[in-house]
Amino acid sequence: MKPTVLLTHPLPPDWIASLEGQVTLIIGQEETPGWRDNLLQALPQAEGILSLLTARVDEAILEKASRLRIVSNMAVGVDNIDVKACTRRGIPVGNTPGAMTDATADLAMSLLLAAARRLPESSRDAREGRWQTWSPTGWLGADLRGATLGIIGLGKIGRAVAERARGFGLRVRYWQPHQSPEGEAGGAEYVPFEALLSSSDFVTLHCPLNESTRGLIDESALRKMKPSAILVNAARGPVVDTSALTRALSENWIASAALDVTDPEPLPPSHPLFSLPNCFIVPHIGSATHGARKRMAEMACENLLAGLRGERLPNCVNPEIYKP
Ligand code: GLV
């Protein structure tokens, strides 16, 4: 008997080729990734879950899945999963670190550059007939060389952003709860949180979403930033307090924001952030390259199959379950 695996959203067959012949797949529907009826009904038979970051795997789901042996998330972030509840049940949780490091760092730099040079606004002006002449003072943006980039969260992605930023002549500082010897060897300077906010021309977020980072960029943090500062978020939406950011941008506490992630997600098109000229939003595309997404799916399958075989996952976020 092949084990039953719930896949919360269809994926291209060549991304999940390693599952062929190994598992019975029950697949969620295309339009709304998450817990569709067919998946909910199959939970009691499920031995594995291959989830996207849009599917919450919480107590309510786990309670129905009494045969579950592995939760494999096709993402590096696991904030959609109640990892503690999985750990209590001895269920390993897999993620996909490394697969999207370069893609996400490239996207963060794209956001930073686009906001610094006001690409969304100037492109709109060109298209809508406001490009009358070459204006010496039109669409002036921020200089990068010599400016300070503050990175919050100097993990793999943060370090990849630091590496790119140095190529643009940015001075790189960082903050996270623990100093990073690897990051410092790469030239990033550790500074306290408040100092990072008040001294950075650009602040970019690369921390995981957890209890200590939820709402980290709140009104008080935004008020500490320079009025000329640009905020980039390619981490998770709830790291930033959306209503505080909306006020900060409308009242010019900071210059602009470029967001790959929002809270809620998706952000409704009627949300005030979309009508602010100094806010630029893309739909959570940090890892959206052909190579990164395929590798993420392959890694998620590797974790899934290892879990089903009762082996240690190649990438496990709760390895404490293996301790005797
Ligand atoms: C994407 O956002 C991820 O966590 O992999």
Ligand 1 atom, smallest distance to 75 CA: 5
The answer to whether residues 145 and 169 touch, using CB atoms and an 8 Å cutoff, is yes
Render pLDDT for 91-130 as a digit per residue (tens, 0 to 9): 999 999 999 999 999 999 999 999 999 999 999 999 999 9
What's the pLDDT score for residue 20?
97
> Could you tell me what percent of the chain has a pLDDT over 90?
94
| Contacting residues for 308 by C-beta, under 8 A, at least 6 apart | 3, 5, 22, 23, 47, 48, 69, 70
Mean pLDDT of the chain: 96
User: What DSSP letter does each residue of 128-191 carry, written as one string?
Assistant: TT---S--TTTT-----TT-EEEEE--SHHHHHHHHHHHHTT-EEEEE-SS--HHHHHTTPEE-
Q: How far apart, in whole angstroms, are the C-alpha atoms of residue 88 and residue 208? A: 22
- Whether omega before 314 lies within 30 degrees of 0, making that bond cis, reads no
Q: How many CB atoms lie within 10 A of CB 212?
A: 10
Q: Is the distance from the beta carbon of residue 75 to the nearest atom of ligand 1 less than 6 Å?
A: yes
**Active-site choice (36, 118, 236, 295):** 236
Distance from the CA of 76 to the center of ligand 1, in angstroms?
A: 5
Q: How far apart, in whole angstroms, are the C-alpha atoms of residue 118 and residue 122? A: 6
Render pLDDT for 249-266 as a digit per residue (tens, 0 to 9): 999 999 999 999 999 999
Render pLDDT for 23-79 as a digit per residue (tens, 0 to 9): 999 999 877 778 888 899 999 999 999 999 999 999 999 999 999 999 999 999 999
Q: Is the distance from the beta carbon of residue 76 to the nearest atom of ligand 1 less than 6 Å?
A: yes
What's the pLDDT score for residue 87?
98
Ligand 1 atom, smallest distance to 96 CA: 5
Write the CA distances from 210 to 80, 177, 235, 238, integer angstroms: 10, 13, 11, 9
CA quadruple 81, 83, 85, 89: dihedral, nearest 10: 120
Among 280, 243, 282, which residue's Cα sits nearest to residue 263?
Answer: 243
Q: Is the distance from the beta carbon of residue 52 to the nearest atom of ligand 1 less than 6 Å?
A: no
What's the pLDDT score for residue 182?
87
Distance from the CA of 271 to the center of ligand 1, in angstroms?
A: 23
Distance from the CA of 86 to the center of ligand 1, in angstroms?
A: 20
Q: Which amino acid is at 15?
A: W
Residue 284 known to be catalytic: yes
| Contacting residues for 128 by C-beta, under 8 A, at least 6 apart | none
Q: Check whether 185 has a pLDDT greater than 90.
A: no
**Active-site choice (9, 171, 173, 284):** 284
What's the pLDDT score for residue 30?
75
What's the pLDDT score for residue 324?
72
| Contacting residues for 261 by C-beta, under 8 A, at least 6 apart | 233, 234, 235, 236, 237, 284, 286
Ligand 1 atom, smallest distance to 100 CA: 5
What's the pLDDT score for residue 37?
85
Distance from the CA of 205 to the center of ligand 1, in angstroms?
A: 13
What's the pLDDT score for residue 323?
82
What's the pLDDT score for residue 29?
83
Among 68, 117, 103, 142, which residue's Cα sits nearest to residue 284?
Answer: 103
Average pLDDT for 222-236: 98
Q: Is the distance from the beta carbon of residue 207 to the nearest atom of ligand 1 less than 6 Å?
A: no
Average pLDDT for 169-186: 93
Ligand 1 atom, smallest distance to 261 CA: 2
**Active-site choice (182, 184, 194, 265):** 265
What's the pLDDT score for residue 176?
97
Looking at ligand 1, which residue's alpha carbon is closest to its atom 3?
75
Question: What structural domains and CATH numbers belong to the chain?
Answer: 4-99+290-321 (3.40.50.720), 101-281 (3.40.50.720)
Distance from the CA of 63 to the center of ligand 1, in angstroms?
A: 26
Ligand 1 atom, smallest distance to 284 CA: 2
Q: Is the distance from the beta carbon of residue 108 to the nearest atom of ligand 1 less than 6 Å?
A: no
Render pLDDT for 271-288 as a digit per residue (tens, 0 to 9): 999 999 999 999 999 999
What's the pLDDT score for residue 31?
73
